[in-house]
Structure 1
């Protein structure tokens, strides 16, 4: 494929600078030239966003529905959707079936734009927008806590871009700072939204360096930032920043549950989005014979065949050979002293460039209290440990906790753990549903309830 020229998209249209970043694909071959927007320009853009006229809720929802059609059916940057998905797969090393799944999610969210905001709104609040002003009785309105929402996107999965369009429905103006690993998905989405009628000064696409990215957070009213534990620690005390860090998602296979089903749940969760998603299974706690379960899971995952990411059967992430070998070495170093049932490999693949698939790993730990149980790697890597019912604290700090058991008391105990955000029973940690929040509702972060009463509500005794 040809090298693409990807501009920024500012409040006055496409914007190009002399400062460009050459982005290579997963095999090290140059794939695109990406504009890098300077801090002064981005600061000006945010000022423009603040003064832009708001669309009504109905108008925004209609635009998002049209954008779904543009995203799915039109050529953008010279690519139809199939060509775009292949290019993203080659660029990121993400399996092509995963890219397709994420793009279907994006279009589904655009077509059902009001679902998550409506689910997040407290039942005591009138709908957002002009409807609240018409309340005839004392009550509450659901209102924005700011005007500009910044997104520091991740590059591990195109699916992260299914989240932020909700902010447009809630009346926010949005700044998307893409990951260099995948700027193509947000570029296609922002372009589709603009073609559908969203004014340019409601949404901008701002590739930039890390210093300018920090400025975007400071100039915005709310921000979501993706990254590792370092990012979580950096923004730990910031109420205006939502840090999306490691998921540390876990599966518990209790003694009363069917073991074969438990293995199937572990396999599905481990391989979800090539093991790179925050909801992919990282730790598995087994109540009955954890060593045996680890050996069985290793045998199942060892059957996965490494192929290039654009292969229809691809399940594994692909990286430049040197980077893949570095990750394998890091896993070996971490797992020293543990029982490695399945050792990962950096499997070189035929074709252009220097590309390797990272095969799965399964490591048995002596105790669930071992911190490695929550250690994430950017490929399918599962840590298996024994589970003890009287030590529920080992389940804490999990984006998703799936309990394969018939015991409802165990589920109830899990719901009481403050650090567990989603609790499933006998489902993969990767399971999702439009009505189930990912990590709480975004609306909880972007909105708040305001008391509202009109003068006709006043009585002489108050």
Structure 2
């Protein structure tokens, strides 16, 4: 088994307490260090006392890190071997892992793009010296020094976000998911080798109590988790939550139905249905039952495959976990019409590797709680839609409207709990200039009034 150390201010750190991490078949695959609270607290003190890299130098350093991430052997793996190992460990299709790694390196090479987009036009760029700033205006300044990341394990792509904090002068502590410690280990190591001092970036695997301590000791924290995590931190202005997406697609009567089915299928299968931007709910204005049946016919064609198969579209996991997921969906659907029931497919090989096939369930009302029920595989809830009940669309990370009614799109943009609004695009659509649940810079920075004499 691999031995994965923590990465502290003095380099790799091996602990007596360790966590055994199983792969997608349930077979033990690696031993992961577990850093105690006192040690992590000391690390955060070291990070806080370390001067950040000059902002002007970070672009070159992070671009070099992309080269290291792609081109160097780390833990004995080149990038291709790393991606196959992550896929086998997490059950994520290897094509998704490759896509996420390309996103990470593209972000490292263009790290100034998002901070520039987030910065108010009235502010001088971060790192601007007072002598070079306007005599009267505003500076774009950090709201703290230490940024904590409690990473998710559902997608390696979550690690494309936090390097922006390094570019803004933060010192960063990453608490990896036990499901995927390999991606942050490779990324942190690449950043170190590229020139980010170890006293500015650490990776601290730890238990839940120590994870809470990291949040308390940091100035700002990015936290991924389910509804329980959202409920725990929802009133914390120093915590940015990345919880359930509950992303939805609306198909109105005036829109071309066949392309609407394409949008629903693409969104449902995005990143094997595990991403927060994958389509969970589809609201259909005309004949939702027929739409659900047609979508079910499309998703029924998705063939089970192991995670290392380039044709894989579904997540893989131990058979017992797959059985629990399928049973939970059927319990939610007990009062609904099931057009496509999830099946557990055993994939053979070592351990008990299995996958869950897609599900499509028709609800009688868009106010059914099941419309917001997320499962970590392609599972779509279809419900009727009426244009005078736009409020049912609130609470969505992404809301896509397949419609010719621009007034409906305008009404959707006014919903306060919707982060992204698209028209006739999959909920999974991404673009480097479109923020994911807002710009991270909005959370990490603030405008500080500045005036100085001639």
Class of the TM-score when normalised by the shorter of the 2 chains: over 0.9
* Offset, 1:344: 0.2
Residue 133 of structure 1 and its aligned partner are, at CA, apart by 4.6
Q: Output the CA distance in 2 between the equivalents of 1:339 and 1:130.
A: 59
- For residues 96-107 of structure 1, the aligned pairs below 5 Å read 96-107=94-105
Which of 293, 298, 301 pairs up with 1:300? 298
Among 309, 312, 322, the residue aligned to 1:311 = 309
How far residue 132 of structure 1 moved from its aligned partner, in angstroms, is 4.7
| Corresponding residue to 1:334 among 316, 327, 332 | 332
Aligned equivalent of 1:246, options 244, 251, 269: 244
CA positional deviation for 1:30: 1.1
Q: Structure 1 unaligned runs (5+)? A: 457-462
Corresponding residue number in structure 1 for 2:405: 407
Helix, strand or coil for the counterpart of 1:200?
coil
Contact 2:151 2:176 in 1 (8 A): yes
Residue 121 of structure 1 corresponds to 119
Residues 135, 453 of structure 2: 8 Å contact kept: no
Q: Show CA shifts across 1:121-142 (max 9, x none).
A: 0000000103455224210001
Counterparts of 2:56 and 2:355, CA distance in 1: 46
Match of 2:8 in 1: 10
Q: Is the 1:126–1:132 Cα contact (8 Å) retained in structure 2?
A: no
Is contact 1:284–1:383 with CA below 8 Å preserved after alignment?
yes
Q: Which residue is equivalent to 1:24?
A: 22
Distance in 2 (CA, whole Å) between partners of 1:236 and 1:98 is 30
Match of 1:369 in 2: 367
Q: Does 1:262 align with 2:260?
A: yes
User: Aligned partners of 1:425, 1:136: CA distance in 2, in Å?
Assistant: 40
Map of 1:194 onto structure 2: 192
1:14-55 deviation digits (Å, cap 9, x = unpaired): 000111111010101111110100000000000000111221
User: 1:82-110: CA deviations, max 9, x gaps?
Assistant: 00000000000000100000000000000
Aligned match of 1:159: 157
Structure 1 Cα separation of the partners of residues 182 and 130 of structure 2: 38
Given the alignment, which residue of 58, 73, 76 partners 2:74? 76
Aligned to 2:430: 432
Deviations 1:176-226 (A, max 9, x none): 000000000000000000010110001000000000000000000000110
Distance in 2, matches of 1:33 and 1:202, equals: 25
Aligned partners of 1:30 and 1:54: how far apart in 2? 39
SS of equivalent residue, structure 2 residue 80 = helix
CA distance in 2, matches of 1:258, 1:265: 11
Q: Quick one: distance in 2 between partners of 1:238 and 1:365?
A: 35
Determine the C-alpha separation between the residues in 1 that align with 2:211 and 2:41: 11
- Per the alignment, residue 39 of structure 2 pairs with 41
Matches of residues 373-392 of structure 1 in structure 2 within 5 Å? Answer: 373-392=371-390
Alignment of 1:141-290 (within 5 A): 141-290=139-288
Mark the CA change 1:39 to 1:325 in structure 2 (over 3 Å): closer, same or farther: same
Secondary structure at the residue paired with 2:120?
A: coil
* Pairs aligned (count): 454
Deviates more, 1:124-133 or 1:21-30: 124-133
Partner SS state of residue 449, structure 1: strand
SS at match of 1:402: strand
Tell whether the 8 Å contact from 2:244 to 2:374 is kept in structure 1 after alignment: yes
The alignment's TM-score, normalised by the length of structure 1, stands at 0.97
2:88–2:307 contact (8 Å) kept in structure 1: yes
Deviation string 1:353-382 (CA, Å, 9 cap, x unpaired) is: 101111000000001111111110111000
- 1:238-289: CA deviation from partner (whole Å, max 9, x where unpaired): 0000111000000001111111100000000000011010000000000110
Counterpart-to-counterpart distance in 1, 2:130 and 2:146: 21
Alpha-carbon distance in structure 2 between the residues aligned to 1:147 and 1:455: 28
CA distance in 2, matches of 1:133, 1:264: 55
User: Do 2:56 and 2:127's aligned partners in 1 also have CA atoms closer than 8 Å?
Assistant: no
Q: Tell me, in whole angstroms, the C-alpha distance in 1 between the residues paired with 2:28 and 2:275.
A: 25
How much does 1:115 deviate? Answer: 0.2
Q: 2:221 and 2:358 mapped to 1: Cα distance?
A: 34
Hey, which bits of structure 1, 4+ residues long, moved more than 6 A?
none
CA–CA distance in structure 2, aligned partners of residues 350 and 356 of structure 1:
8
Deviations 1:136-158 (A, max 9, x none): 42100010000000000000000
